[in-house]
Chain A
Amino acid sequence: MTTNEGNLTKKDFTSDREVRWCPGCGDYAILATVQSLLPEVGARPESTVFVSGIGCSSRFPYYMDTYGIHSIHGRAPAVATGLAISRPDLDVWVVTGDGDGLSIGGNHLMHALRRNVNLKILLFNNEIYGLTKGQYSPTSPLGSTHKSTPLGSLDRPINPVSLALGVEATYVARSIDTDRKHLSEVLRGAYEHRGSAFVEIYQNCNIFNDGAFAAVKDKGQKEHNQIRLTDGEPITFGPDNERAVVAESDGSMSIVPTEEAGDRVVVHDPARDEPTTAFALSRLALNPTGPTPIGIFRDVDRPVYDELVREQIDQARSDQGEGDLGSLLEGGNVWDVV
């Protein structure tokens, strides 16, 4: 984490490039939130790197006046891992999407998270392939009809938060593109977390999949469907907190009227070391078409990958002394010819 000694503003993080997303795209709101947040939390442009893959969201680095790599499809976590291991002084962000991060790059996402590399990974989930013009994605609901699935998708969707919790990511959160206050809070938490932070952001693609998140975004619906997770608070929701999340005896969770919940209501604790409870929470909504938790699911401290790498190097240096090339080459059996 870097500190902001000067008085930087959003402008200092905004590049001179014209933003070229479709008018009305949810990416605009996320970009504006990130550009405003970074000066607030004390980040510095020169110490910030955005790494992306391929897809609409992956254009993100071009619009940030920071360092950036627009890499290849699915590989952003791998590229960012090499940078974060070798440069612990930097804030390295990964911007990816549901196709880039969960389909072609699912492998890298999983391994970056389980290693706890010091990366802030933002997954813009729009449940569609936008850049290739409208095929279904790994988060599209079962049966959804798009260009490549005229008769309905046969693939069971991935729940990105469940996936991240399954590989024991140390910071896992979910937010919504246009909910600036909530998104800022969640991103602030990610920024302050040392280690892998994973944030799923519901992002509306108004061209190919408009309204996919209406249940949790639109006035009149969101009041009923957003389950806002707050550290230390019982998990209840609805306009009058009339519904509650309770733990079942089989380890799963379900939603009941608050008046029936009694002491079975779950009190949210993102610092719980075991990811099991957070995972059960994430299973409340397979797709955000009904009540869906948003907020920080998990936030725990674990050794960070680059620190472990440096510890081994320091240990080797203290055990063997600083490497000496001449001695290395002469290691083992040598003989002299005169």
Chain B
Amino acid sequence: MSDTATENRPGDRERVQLHSAVIRFAGDSGDGMQLTGDRFTTQSALAGNDLATLPDFPAEIRAPAGTLAGVSSFQLHFSDKDIHTPGDAPDVLVAMNPAALMKHHEALKPGGTLILNTDAFTERNLQKAGYEDDPREDGSLTDFQVHEVPITDLTVRALEGHIERGELNKKEAERCKNMLALGLVSWMFSRSVDETEEWLRSKFRSKPEIADANVEALRAGWNYGETTEAFVFHYEVKAAKLPPGRYRNITGNQAVAYGLIAASVRSKLPLFYGSYPITPASDILHELAKQKNFGVQTFQAEDEIAAIGSVIGASFGGSLSVTASSGPGIALKTEAMGLAVATELPMIIVNVMRGGPSTGLPTKTEQSDLFQVLHGRNGEAPIPVVAAESPADGFDAAIEAARIALTYRTPVVLLSDGYLANSAEPWLLPDVDGLPDLTQVFEFTTESNSDNGFQPYLRDPETLARPWALPGTPGLEHRIGGLEKDDGSGHISYDPVNHHAMTQVRHDRVHRIADDLAPLAVDDPSGQADVLVVGWGSTSGPIRAACEQLREKGRDVARVHLRHLSPLPNDLDDLLRSYETVVCPENNMGQLSILLRARTLVDIKGYHRVTGQPFASDELADVIEQHGFGEQA
């Protein structure tokens, strides 16, 4: 927590002004920690803070209660300044049971605030968490300001009336303990709980007694903070000075879904979304399935292959067609992605990357599918690749993917990852009329394009896109498929010269995309930097925060972040060559670094770590310092 001032108000505990704080809620998967974090996020957003979140949950839906495997957590960084990451070490940790404490106490900042639900510290739970002695008594927590709060008991007592009236049993009452914790933390950070109260009433509209119980637990938590002397301070993080406009919170998956709808609206093409459930991409399907009044057709296919198969069919029929998955599902789609390349049909394939290989770490984040989407197909099968760099950026990235797909008649991969998918940040809402007009980038072919009958592979000389002639159009009947085509007529061709020419044209068509990209935006405030940090995807936030830290120390550091991974921008080569040192941190074993070295022969300094978690900004500041300035921070 970064202090600014202390002010005393009559009848008020000391209220400490902070610039920013990082809080982590941790408990059993059944304790409702994700919901608690979501609510606190909304409350902070409505208070005008800038924020970033990091949900972290096990792949098991309900791992055995009280075990380390079952711990679920939600971290929130909120600030009165512009921030880019969910924060490194938390200032406040709420641990709902010993397992949560065991798993997370090492992350807590020295001197940080630790709120423990003492009711859960039974011998059995301590054992399950792997404690030999009670950490509350063995001196292991002396670094922290520990608040032992009987959260479960306080909740049950607050709801005694409900229990007596038979509206709830004790177990149901206990389930409201996350709301008590939320109330307490809300008091600690001077957050209004009014909105959460409204939200609870609307969520449990059909069960008013459950709504009442949750609201009472929430208020009891707040009052506990207000009336007990246990908490000497409470804190306030004022509104951030964000650019003016209307804001909302948005997660990466939501932003991608909205971006796809926007692309459909702006291209006047119906959106067809075929996908198969997979973590962490399924929320895109859930979101789109709710938006059928936009004419969205969602199709939950029998498998990943059928999902992309249906998308190829819908694209042939003239829809804006999209499928999404994560690495293992993309692996299954590989052959069909090759067919999409051969048939030159526009579509978007979203890969929300997770830890690999194989099933890997379904709920954790990683950037290790870059090579998969660039190269993971038989034959020379180039596909353009774009990546989102923040949760809200999924919106713009999806529109850009649609622009490329429609302009060049090609499948496009849109990369996101587990961190972006589930994290939230405030989003300055765009002016919808100012979004790209995608009706201008394509047209359906309605007339024959040659005296020898319709030529489905006769290309636009500029974009090399082939005509998009829809079934239903008289006179343009044609057949496409996975066999090599004669350039122009589209007939099957085994001609050696034609095969080379077609391979070249598929390559060139993707590379021409680079010709209409905006120049790279280099962030170099002093203009004096000799060190450039290059990144892509979700490392944007930590890289930016690390660079800002270094600049505060007087280090000149520049950074550039790549939206387009294929084709790479035309001005990238000269840019990389113009710095003495280029550092490239990635949540993989150096995939972009390898590409950049191969392309530019610049000696890129990679930094590779795959922990399933996003980089911490301190960690990257150290790396940049080491490579760029020859020393440890």
In the complex, what residues of A have CB within 8 A of residue B272's CB?
82, 85-86
Inter-subunit contact B274/A72 (CB<8 Å): no
The residues in A between 280 and 338 inclusive whose CB is less than 8 angstroms from any CB of B are: 309, 312-313, 315-317, 319-323, 325-326, 328-338
Inter-subunit contact A79/B248 (CB<8 Å): no
1/0 per residue, CB under 8 A from B, across A24-55: the answer is 00000000000000000000111111110000
B-binding segment of A63-71, A131-139, A143-151, A221-229: A63-71
Inter-subunit contact B246/A330 (CB<8 Å): yes
Inter-subunit contact A108/B46 (CB<8 Å): no
Q: Is A17 an interface residue (CB 8 A)?
A: yes
Inter-subunit contact A70/B299 (CB<8 Å): no
Inter-subunit contact A85/B492 (CB<8 Å): no
A86 with B297, Cβ < 8 A, contacts A47-B472, A69-B313, A71-B339 known: yes
In the complex, what's the smallest C-beta–C-beta distance from B197 to chain A, in angstroms?
14
- Compute how far the CA of A75 lies from the CA of B291 in the bound complex, rounded to whole angstroms: 28
Inter-subunit contact B475/A316 (CB<8 Å): no
- Chain A interface size, as a band, is 35 or more
Cβ-neighbour of A333 out of B195, B476, B483 (below 8 A): B195
Q: Is B258 an interface residue (CB 8 A)?
A: yes
Cβ-neighbour of A317 out of B293, B315, B318 (below 8 A): B293
In the complex, what residues of A have CB within 8 A of residue B265's CB?
323, 325
- Compute how far the CA of A66 lies from the CA of B476 in the bound complex, rounded to whole angstroms: 9
In the complex, what residues of B have CB within 8 A of residue A72's CB?
335-336, 338-339, 482
1/0 per residue, CB under 8 A from A, across B492-515: the answer is 100000000000000000000000
- Compute how far the CA of A47 lies from the CA of B290 in the bound complex, rounded to whole angstroms: 31
- Compute how far the CA of A307 lies from the CA of B265 in the bound complex, rounded to whole angstroms: 23
Most buried by B among A84, A108, A317, A328: A328
Cβ-neighbour of B270 out of A64, A86, A322, A330 (below 8 A): A86
Inter-subunit contact B248/A332 (CB<8 Å): yes
- Compute how far the CA of A100 lies from the CA of B302 in the bound complex, rounded to whole angstroms: 17
Closest B residue, CB atoms, query A319: B293
- Compute how far the CA of A322 lies from the CA of B293 in the bound complex, rounded to whole angstroms: 5
Inter-subunit contact B261/A328 (CB<8 Å): yes
In the complex, what residues of A have CB within 8 A of residue B301's CB?
78, 81, 111
- Compute how far the CA of A50 lies from the CA of B244 in the bound complex, rounded to whole angstroms: 54
- Compute how far the CA of A72 lies from the CA of B305 in the bound complex, rounded to whole angstroms: 10
- Compute how far the CA of A78 lies from the CA of B340 in the bound complex, rounded to whole angstroms: 14
In the complex, what residues of A have CB within 8 A of residue B475's CB?
46
Inter-subunit contact A334/B336 (CB<8 Å): no
A71 with B471, Cβ < 8 A, contacts A82-B313, A107-B303, A312-B292 known: no
Inter-subunit contact A85/B305 (CB<8 Å): no
The residues in B between 282 and 327 inclusive whose CB is less than 8 angstroms from any CB of A are: 291-297, 299, 301-303, 305-307, 309-319, 321
A79 with B313, Cβ < 8 A, contacts A85-B272, A325-B262 known: yes
Most buried by A among B244, B249, B316: B316
Q: Is A265 an interface residue (CB 8 A)?
A: no
Closest A residue, CB atoms, query B345: A69
Inter-subunit contact A69/B46 (CB<8 Å): no
Q: Footprint of B on A, CB under 8 Å? A: 15, 17, 44-51, 61-62, 64-72, 75, 77-87, 89-90, 107-108, 110-111, 309, 312-313, 315-317, 319-323, 325-326, 328-338
Cβ-neighbour of A45 out of B45, B335, B477 (below 8 A): B477
Most buried by B among A309, A331, A335: A335
In the complex, what residues of A have CB within 8 A of residue B459's CB?
none
Most buried by A among B244, B306, B311, B476: B306
A-B contacts, 7 of them at CB < 8 A, read A69-B316, A72-B335, A79-B316, A82-B310, A87-B318, A317-B292, A317-B293
In the complex, what's the smallest C-beta–C-beta distance from B387 to chain A, in angstroms?
22
Inter-subunit contact B316/A83 (CB<8 Å): yes
Inter-subunit contact A111/B302 (CB<8 Å): yes
In the complex, what residues of B have CB within 8 A of residue A321's CB?
293
In the complex, what's the smallest C-beta–C-beta distance from A234 to chain B, in angstroms?
39
In the complex, what residues of A have CB within 8 A of residue B432's CB?
325-326, 329
Inter-subunit contact B243/A85 (CB<8 Å): no
- Compute how far the CA of A3 lies from the CA of B265 in the bound complex, rounded to whole angstroms: 32
- Compute how far the CA of A84 lies from the CA of B272 in the bound complex, rounded to whole angstroms: 12
Closest A residue, CB atoms, query B429: A329
Inter-subunit contact A337/B297 (CB<8 Å): no
B-side interface mostly: mixed
- Compute how far the CA of A111 lies from the CA of B306 in the bound complex, rounded to whole angstroms: 10
Inter-subunit contact B245/A336 (CB<8 Å): yes
Inter-subunit contact A336/B313 (CB<8 Å): no
Cβ-neighbour of A328 out of B242, B291, B307 (below 8 A): B291
Inter-subunit contact B261/A325 (CB<8 Å): yes
Q: Is B480 an interface residue (CB 8 A)?
A: yes
Closest A residue, CB atoms, query B479: A68
Closest B residue, CB atoms, query A108: B306
In the complex, what's the smallest C-beta–C-beta distance from A73 to chain B, in angstroms?
8
In the complex, what residues of A have CB within 8 A of residue B375's CB?
none
In the complex, what's the smallest C-beta–C-beta distance from A107 to chain B, in angstroms?
6
**Beyond A45-B474, A85-B272, A86-B270, 5 additional pairs, beta carbon < 8 A:** A46-B474, A67-B316, A72-B335, A329-B258, A337-B246
Inter-subunit contact B314/A86 (CB<8 Å): yes
Nearest 5 A-B pairs (CB), nearest first? A70-B481, A78-B309, A82-B310, A82-B313, A323-B294
In the complex, what's the smallest C-beta–C-beta distance from B205 to chain A, in angstroms?
17
Inter-subunit contact B483/A70 (CB<8 Å): yes
In the complex, what's the smallest C-beta–C-beta distance from A327 to chain B, in angstroms?
10
- Compute how far the CA of A48 lies from the CA of B294 in the bound complex, rounded to whole angstroms: 28
Inter-subunit contact B42/A90 (CB<8 Å): no
- Compute how far the CA of A325 lies from the CA of B291 in the bound complex, rounded to whole angstroms: 10
Inter-subunit contact B302/A107 (CB<8 Å): yes
In the complex, what residues of B have CB within 8 A of residue A78's CB?
301-302, 305-307, 309-310, 313
In the complex, what residues of A have CB within 8 A of residue B319's CB?
86
Closest B residue, CB atoms, query A110: B302
Q: Is B144 an interface residue (CB 8 A)?
A: no
In the complex, what's the smallest C-beta–C-beta distance from A5 to chain B, in angstroms?
12
A85 with B299, Cβ < 8 A, contacts A68-B479, A322-B293, A337-B48 known: yes
Inter-subunit contact A71/B481 (CB<8 Å): yes
In the complex, what residues of B have CB within 8 A of residue A45's CB?
474, 477
- Compute how far the CA of A107 lies from the CA of B291 in the bound complex, rounded to whole angstroms: 29
In the complex, what residues of B have CB within 8 A of residue A334's CB?
246-248, 429
Inter-subunit contact A69/B472 (CB<8 Å): no
Cβ-neighbour of B45 out of A64, A323, A333 (below 8 A): A333
Inter-subunit contact A323/B291 (CB<8 Å): yes
Closest B residue, CB atoms, query A338: B244
In the complex, what residues of A have CB within 8 A of residue B258's CB?
328-329
In the complex, what residues of B have CB within 8 A of residue A323's CB?
261, 265, 291, 293-295
Inter-subunit contact A66/B243 (CB<8 Å): no
In the complex, what's the smallest C-beta–C-beta distance from A338 to chain B, in angstroms?
5
In the complex, what's the smallest C-beta–C-beta distance from A328 to chain B, in angstroms?
7
- Compute how far the CA of A17 lies from the CA of B492 in the bound complex, rounded to whole angstroms: 10
A82 with B245, Cβ < 8 A, contacts A47-B472, A107-B306, A326-B432 known: no
In the complex, what residues of A have CB within 8 A of residue B122's CB?
none
Cβ-neighbour of B477 out of A67, A108, A312 (below 8 A): A67
1/0 per residue, CB under 8 A from A, across B61-80: the answer is 00000000000000000000
Inter-subunit contact A62/B309 (CB<8 Å): no
A62 with B316, Cβ < 8 A, contacts A69-B480, A81-B299, A90-B471 known: no
Most buried by A among B45, B310, B336, B492: B310
